[in-house]
Amino acid sequence: MNELMLTDLETLVTCESPSGDPAAVARSADVVARLGAERLGCEPEYIVVDGCTHLRWVLGAGQVLVLAHHDTVWPIGSLATHPFRVEDGVLRGPGCFDMKAGLVMAMHAISALPSANVTLLVTGDEELGSPSSRELIETEAAGCSAALVLEASADGGALKLERKGVSVYEVRITGRAAHAGLEPELGVNASIEAAHQVLAVSNLGDPVLGTTVTPSVLTSGTTRNTVPAAGSFFVDARAWTVEEQLRVDKAMHALRPVLPGSSLEVIGGPNRPPLERKMSEELYARASRIAADLGQPPLRSVAVGGGSDGNFTAGIGTPTLDGLGAVGGGAHADDEHVLVAELEPRTALLTALIADLLDTP
């Protein structure tokens, strides 16, 4: 067991960093910067975009991008109910699995290299969809031969070779108010129009291709006895391919009202492009060979529906391997945990993979 890794992980986990709290994210960035300076031997560059603090270490020519985030979904005060602890080889604490363990692994892997042409980018808004860091991520990835994403692994340590692209929409509906008892016929019911649109949107998915289009939060109306004049609902759409993502986007923006006198406005579109398998296969084959050389069990791979910053790096054409971080489970849940015994071998794999990439012309 690498006690220094556990100490570093405790340092990060015990500095709470909920994505929606810029001050907390800034405090966390200071802790990450101090720790990274100790491990990597140099200070990072602070990059603040729209009030969110990101950190960048550029070592040498920055040939390989190592990507992590230090924000979490856990609100301030979570340590009181989910304290950092290690029991029976299982480490717990808010954000330990997603993804502060991955960040510690990245620092230790890079520090183990005799020399490194590596960029370590640590963002502060991944859990929000990376609104302020997307351009930064894409810019850094564009100049690199590979992007290694330290998001937590899938079940049993599997790497994530595919991620669905994510699109987010809001459908706004305008009707006309009227008294529900005296003259409802004079109104245009936004709730009924919303029902038509929700059904239309739910039919845009394609189970065969794995495309999901899910109406979620729905609001409409003001009082019990008033024909609703306005309503809206959100839509989460996910697809394995760019073609499917664009098909859904076109269909969403082609929605038309059903009730005479009602109107629609569709806001939004693709948020993350898909991470397609073709962008990961070569790196996965390389990592599998390295794992065998290290005497580690054979690697496994999965496809997952959730997005990460790896979607952005793959989306601009940079070969990307995701899920290289901690082995454990319970991301965003009460059971969030990291298997301590897996930290060292996973870090050794990451170190060897970076070294192998740097040795490749």
- Residue whose structure tokens are 């005296």: 182
Residues recorded for the chain: 361
Give me the phi and psi of 163, to 5 degrees please.
-135, 140
**What whole-number distance in Å separates Cα of residue 101 and Cα of residue 338?**
8
Q: List the one residue out of 286, 278, 342 whose CA is nearest residue 314.
A: 278
Q: What is the number of other CB atoms lying within 10 angstroms of the CB of residue 291? A: 19
Q: Residue 153 in contact with residue 324, Cβ under 8 Å?
A: yes
Q: What is the largest CA-CA distance in the chain?
A: 81
Give me the phi and psi of 212, to 5 degrees please.
-115, 135
- Residue whose structure tokens are 């800034």: 26
Peptide bond into 99 cis (omega under 30): yes
Residues β-bridged to residue 220: 231
**What whole-number distance in Å separates Cα of residue 48 and Cα of residue 26?**
9
Q: Residue 176 in contact with residue 227, Cβ under 8 Å?
A: yes
CA distances from 55 to 29, 111, 123, 307 (A): 7, 17, 6, 21
Residues β-bridged to residue 272: 166
Q: Residue 229: helix, strand or coil by DSSP?
A: coil
68 burial (CB, 10 Å; 0-12 / 13-18 / 19+) is: buried
- The structure tokens listed for 188 are 């245009």
Q: Which residues are catalytic?
A: 71, 126
- Which residues are CB-neighbours of 1 under 8 A, at least 6 positions away? 340, 341, 343, 344
**What whole-number distance in Å separates Cα of residue 198 and Cα of residue 235?**
9
